[in-house]
Amino acid sequence: MACPFNKDNLTALKSIVDTCKANPEVLHKEELKFFKEFVESFGGQIPKRQKMEEPKINPAEGKPQEAEESDTESVLEFDMEGCLEPDTVTDEQVMGDDEKKPTEEEIDKADEVRGQGMHEFSEGNYEKAIQFFTEAIQMNPKSAILFTKRGQSYIKMNKPNACIQDCTKALDLNCDSAAAFKFRGRAYRLLGEWEKAAHDLRQACKIDFDEQSDEWLKEVQPNALKIQQHKIKQERKNAEKLKEKPKETANQPPPNMPNLADFLKDPMLREAMNDPEISAAFNDIVLNPNNMDKYVSNPKFAAFVELLKKWSNFPNPDFGKTAPPAEEDGLD
């Protein structure tokens, strides 16, 4: 039977296997979780994730030496003036019934109550304003402006997380609400979340420019830009490390890592792979490891898996000379 993989597939597979052999740490990446599970499903052993190195001690001072550069944002210095301690969002912040379909009468009544809330807001009575906006939200939970105005009131009461929750709800109802982006951006700024603040304020200016949004955006941009540049620098350094690491470890394959060449040389496995049924099942599982469940009750494939489990412990001088325990519906 012809190989079920074309030349490009085999080249890509070999490249993946070679990279994993040289740097087994990559198998712990979330993107390669499917491949890790595939190897383990056949009894293969994945080297454990290496522990982070302990800080080196300076013999002269008896203190840990400082790292050349940290990969976190903690190494960056920001002007945190104006930032607040995070507030806690509670169940008292009524978000309304998502399933409710307000009547025209309820909508009109909600608009009337909103007017009362805006009056209290203009008088600086922010707590009363929130009470009116909450009452209006209960009557008409489909109104983005009600959540936005209440979020603005929370800003005045130094409750940025409450504002973020309201403005996020407003944007769920109306993704083009410049006001919701504006006040959520301001709330992020008060929490020192510079990138999120810059994103939201930029969106607000894009949708409906106003001088205050632009002023707030200019305030957060320096810190947001500093974070972005730091991340780009770290990504570049990590990419360079990945390029260098395979060269250093190319001649040091990790223990218990299966060898593809030895796999293809084994006569029993090669014979099994020539079986159309097993080959098709194996190809199906390579494409999606979750498909393994489809073949667990197949005696022929079960025998093949047992053979692979023995192979995963290679090198074994006696491997391949004897067949696995005979079964009525085995490979023969």
Query: CATH number of the domain that 207 lies in?
Result: 1.25.40.10
At CB < 8 A and 24+ separation, what contacts does 94-100 make?
94/134, 94/137, 94/138, 95/137, 95/141, 95/165, 95/169, 96/137, 96/138, 96/140, 96/141, 97/138, 97/141, 98/141, 100/141, 100/142
Question: Shortest CA distance to 271 belongs to which of 246, 240, 307, 297?
Answer: 307
195 shares a domain with 300: no
CB 226 within 8 A of CB 76: yes
pLDDT of residue 14: 67
Question: Distance of CA 98 to CAs 186, 189, 273, 319, Å?
Answer: 26, 29, 55, 64
Q: What is the total count of domains within the chain? A: 2
182 shares a domain with 124: yes
Q: Residue 110 is part of which domain span? A: 104-229
Query: Does any domain span residue 220?
Result: yes
pLDDT of residue 295: 77
- pTM summary value: 0.54
Question: Shortest CA distance to 223 belongs to which of 79, 325, 102?
Answer: 79
pLDDT of residue 250: 47
CB under 8 Å to 48, separation ≥6 — which residues?
A: none
Query: Does any domain span residue 133?
Result: yes
pLDDT of residue 31: 67
191 shares a domain with 266: no
pLDDT of residue 26: 66
303 shares a domain with 210: no
Choose the final residue of a domain: 229, 248, 281: 229
CB under 8 Å to 325, separation ≥6 — which residues?
A: 306
What averages of pLDDT result for each successive group of 10 residues across the chain (332 residues)? 64 68 68 72 68 44 45 64 89 91 96 97 97 97 97 96 97 97 97 95 96 95 90 88 64 50 64 77 74 77 72 44 44 38
260 shares a domain with 225: no
pLDDT of residue 315: 40
124 shares a domain with 34: no
